[in-house]
Copies of this chain bind each other. A is one copy, B any other.
Amino acid sequence: MYLLEQRILRDGIIKEGDVLRVDSFLNHQIDVKFVNGLCSEFYRLFKDCDVTKILTIEASGIGMACLTAQFFDVPVVFAKKSKTSNITNEFYSASAFSYTHNNTNNIIVSKAYLTSSDRILIIDDFLALGGALTAMLDLCEQAGATVVGAGIMVEKAYQGGGDKIRSRGIRVESLAKIKSMDSNGIEFC
């Protein structure tokens, strides 16, 4: 999506460790009007898929998931990164490696909020190695839910996570796909 690519070129900052920082508009400070426009694109792409619920993962996916949910008129469920005292023991659980944070999280969703009658659209900000997305797909599989696809803001395509998941037959739509990224700049697919 041209608008997002241009914004990444303007405001994205490449950090050591192959990290792209877009926290001025996407995942620390959120330019809500701009992100809402991106979310409308997820609606265009998935509007005929009978989505019943949007699944994301805390923390930075939540804002865009809620904005996207307004177009679909469905609820959001966000996977939590650890077991907390106000979550029931009745949950689905999966492991997710985070490239950005270089750690592995246990993510959980209450069984009550992910069921076999759900048709799930997964929304997330980044797709690199695919750890978070794979874990969310795992949660959906445990629930017997149908995954209609995943809407991703920024895919670092050269890291291969997206294509690995596509090869499983999962529809993955990324609004910006980075082909290469280094100190000379960013090239999109």
Tell me the A residues contacting B by CB distance below 8 Å.
15, 17, 19, 21, 23-25, 28-33, 35-36, 58-60, 62-67, 69-70, 73-78, 80-81, 84-88, 100-102, 109-110, 112-113
Protomer copies: 2
Q: Hey, which chain B residues are within 8 Å of A69, CB to CB?
A: 30, 32
* Majority DSSP secondary structure for residues of A touching B: mixed
Contact A76 B23 (CB under 8 A): no
In the bound complex, residues from chain B placing their C-beta under 8 Å from that of A25 are 75
A24 adjacent to B113 (CB under 8 Å): yes
Chain B residue numbers with a CB within 8 Å of A58 are: 58-59, 62
- Please, how many angstroms separate the alpha-carbon atoms of A73 and B34 in the complex? 10
A85 and B59 form a contact (CB under 8 A): no
Q: Which B residue sits closest to A109, measured CB to CB? A: B28
A64 to B76, CA, bound (A): 12
Rounded to whole angstroms, the CA-CA distance of A48 and B171 in the bound complex is: 45
Quick one: given A63-B63, A80-B59, are A29 and B113 in contact (CB under 8 Å)?
yes
Chain B minimum-CB-distance residue to A88: B21
Contacts of A74 in B (CB 8 A): 32
